[in-house]
């Protein structure tokens, strides 16, 4: 259970979510997308909408391939939020899927079974699935975990491109050295509470105010 978690993610922020195993990082991500129901509190997206449809989770692992042998196109299509089935995509929706796949560099693999992808390709496909949902906030759970060096580089490049494009992101990762320069803010959990919320300390050694100040801007706000 999380305790006294209250935070806001501003539009365009890239946030590192840190903490030891068991500190509540995965629980927080799952609560934000309603995989774990809230016992109290709420999640608000942008202009006060009480909905979690504006948040997309990029999990560390894909769905089991033994259930339905999806292609990359079908996997990414599952991110479309206005349909009950990815097999019934409209022309506009199919265009959105193609564009999302192209944006992560997988156009040549879109008809492949996603089980045939490398680890880095699969991680990029899961990011494309989140992008096609047109969410206001992307949550990425260990996007670099288990990847070889070449795949790490390709995913890091993609994350930096998303930052440049203005996406709001919360990233759980232990590979911070690979993500140098990506984050504008760090949130550290300890015992399922926020221990630290502020600017990355490794780049601001002289900074003494550890409380994160929120500028007046459009927000993908979160409060739990």
For residue range 78-115, list pLDDT tens digits in order.
888 755 455 566 888 889 999 999 999 999 999 999 98
Domain extent at residue 82: 67-134
Structural domain includes residue 59: no
Task: Compute the residue count for the chain.
Answer: 224
Task: Give me 187's structure tokens.
Answer: 């949130």
Q: Which of 134, 165, 182 is the last residue before a domain boundary?
A: 134
Q: Which of 77, 209, 50, 202 is nearest to 131 (CA)?
A: 77
- Higher pLDDT: 215 or 19? It is 19
SS3 of 54-113: the string is: CEEEECCCCCCCCCCCCEHHHHHHCCCCCCCCHHHCCHHHHHHHHHHHHHCCCHHHCCCE
Q: Which of 134, 155, 181 is the last residue before a domain boundary?
A: 134
Query: Rg for the chain (alpha carbons), in Å?
Result: 17
Domain co-membership, 180 together with 198 = yes
Domain co-membership, 127 together with 162 = no
Domain co-membership, 8 together with 48 = yes
Q: What average pLDDT does this structure show over 121-125?
A: 94
Structural domain includes residue 90: yes
Task: Give me 191's structure tokens.
Answer: 């015992």
Supply φ then ψ for residue 167, to 5 degrees.
-70, 145
The pLDDT of residue 42 is 73
CATH of the domain at 157: 3.40.50.300
Q: What average pLDDT does this structure show over 188-199?
A: 91
pLDDT at 36 over 50: yes
What is the CA angle 118-71-131, rounded to 5?
A: 80
The pLDDT of residue 184 is 93
Domain co-membership, 140 together with 113 = no
Structural domain includes residue 60: no
pLDDT at 65 over 80: no
Domain co-membership, 44 together with 139 = yes
Round to whole Å and give the CA distance between 115 and 113: 5
Please tell me the total count of domains within the chain: 2
Q: Which of 101, 118, 134 is the last residue before a domain boundary?
A: 134
């Amino acid at each position: 259970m999380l305790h006294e978690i209250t935070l806001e993610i501003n539009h365009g922020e890239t946030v590192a979510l840190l903490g030891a195993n068991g500190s509540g990082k995965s629980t927080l991500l799952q609560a934000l997308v309603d995989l774990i129901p809230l016992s109290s509190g709420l999640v608000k997206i942008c202009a006060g909408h009480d909905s979690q449809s504006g948040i997309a989770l990029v999990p560390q692992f894909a769905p089991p391939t033994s259930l339905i042998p999806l292609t990359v196109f079908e996997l990414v299509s599952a991110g479309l939020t206005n349909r009950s089935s990815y097999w019934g995509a409209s022309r506009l929706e199919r265009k959105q899927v193609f564009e999302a796949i192209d944006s992560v560099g997988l156009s040549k693999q879109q008809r492949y079974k996603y089980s045939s992808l490398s680890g880095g390709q699969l991680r990029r496909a899961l990011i494309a699935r989140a992008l096609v949902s047109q969410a206001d906030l992307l949550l990425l759970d260990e996007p670099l975990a288990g990847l070889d060096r070449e795949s790490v580089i390709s995913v890091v490049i993609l994350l930096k491109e998303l930052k440049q494009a203005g996406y709001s992101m919360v990233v759980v990762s232990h590979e911070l050295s690979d993500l140098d320069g990506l984050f504008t803010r760090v949130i550290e959990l300890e015992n399922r509470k926020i221990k630290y919320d502020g600017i990355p300390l490794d780049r601001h050694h002289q900074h003494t105010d550890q409380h994160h100040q929120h500028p007046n801007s459009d927000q993908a706000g979160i409060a739990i």
